Copies of this chain bind each other. A is one copy, B any other.
Amino acid sequence: MRAITLGPEGTYSHRATRAVADEIVFTESVTGIVKSVASGDIERGVIPIENSIEGSVTESLDALAECNVSVDLEIVTPIQHALLAQDHDFEVVASHAQALAQCRTYLDSEYPDREIETVSSTARGVERARNDSAVAAIGHPDTSGDDLQVLAEDIQDRSSNTTRFVVLVPREERSVSGGKTSLIIYPNTDYPGLLLELLEPFSERDISLSRIESRPSGERLGDYLFHIDIDTGLYEERTQQALSEIESIADSGWVCRLGSYDTKHVLY
């Protein structure tokens, strides 16, 4: 199975993708991944969807809003940041801004006087450390290779402990089995209580929401899409009933069923 994800080699996205593909192609943009899958160029795509240090989660949500791909699987992985360097005499810590933020407590207490350098990915930071003994990087301990030492493991803050990815397939392969469903609702209108009305059909049928996020539609200021994950599958009668009810409320807009899927926990 061929899959496309965020590169370069050694990113957390790469590690997650290994759980579903044996041949992996890299790109630098989430939008590019969605396009490759939608056009059928590549069979699978893997993008970060929550707590990511690669790509931007809002870019992922906006790319899915085109509704031209489906979600086939969710991958949940623990974040495991290690401090990597040639030795202890480093002067600079180089990593992605969000990885640096996730390790701030550790860095502030252990290395308050070292300079911080923001680079475009954790993999670039590791590359910097490999080429320069004055530089330490933050990355998964496995990326240390032969030339870097793991100076400390699990240096991330407690609040940033897992990250989620989704596996994308072409729209035609949309799955309705699986215990969780991702939806996008575009009501194309707004009034007080609208969101409540849109959520009532779930609550009446004992369907739990596991995520909700509003995103600007891009049509006009204050016009929103709702990205919603629910804890039931599209194959279930109650899910279908709730969605038809929502469609009649949002009747000048639309409801996109991104697909139903299961969760795979990956320890890398």
Contacts and interface: CB of A to CB of B under 8 A. Distances in A.
Interface of A: 28-32, 50-52, 55-59, 62, 76, 96-98, 100-101, 104, 116, 118-121, 157-162, 190-193, 195-196, 199-200, 202-203, 206-214, 216-218, 221-222, 224, 226
A249 to B, nearest CB: 14
A56 B97 contact: yes
A58 B59 contact: no
Contacts of A116: 28-29
A30 B101 contact: yes
A203 to B, nearest CB: 3
Contacts of A208: 190-192
What is the total number of copies of this protein in its complex? 2
A253 B119 CA distance: 37
A101 B31 contact: yes
Contacts of A100: 28-29
B58 A51 contact: yes
10 closest residue pairs by CB, A with B: A159-B218, A193-B203, A196-B203, A192-B206, A192-B208, A118-B120, A31-B101, A28-B118, A120-B120, A213-B213
A209 B195 contact: yes
Given A192-B203, A218-B158, A59 B98 contact: yes
A230 B244 CA distance: 28
A208 to B, nearest CB: 5
26 contacts: A28-B97, A28-B116, A29-B104, A31-B104, A50-B58, A56-B57, A56-B98, A62-B159, A62-B160, A118-B120, A118-B121, A119-B120, A159-B218, A161-B218, A162-B216, A162-B221, A191-B208, A192-B202, A192-B208, A193-B202, A196-B200, A196-B202, A209-B214, A212-B213, A212-B226, A213-B214
Contacts of A96: 120
A139 to B, nearest CB: 16
A101 B29 CA distance: 7
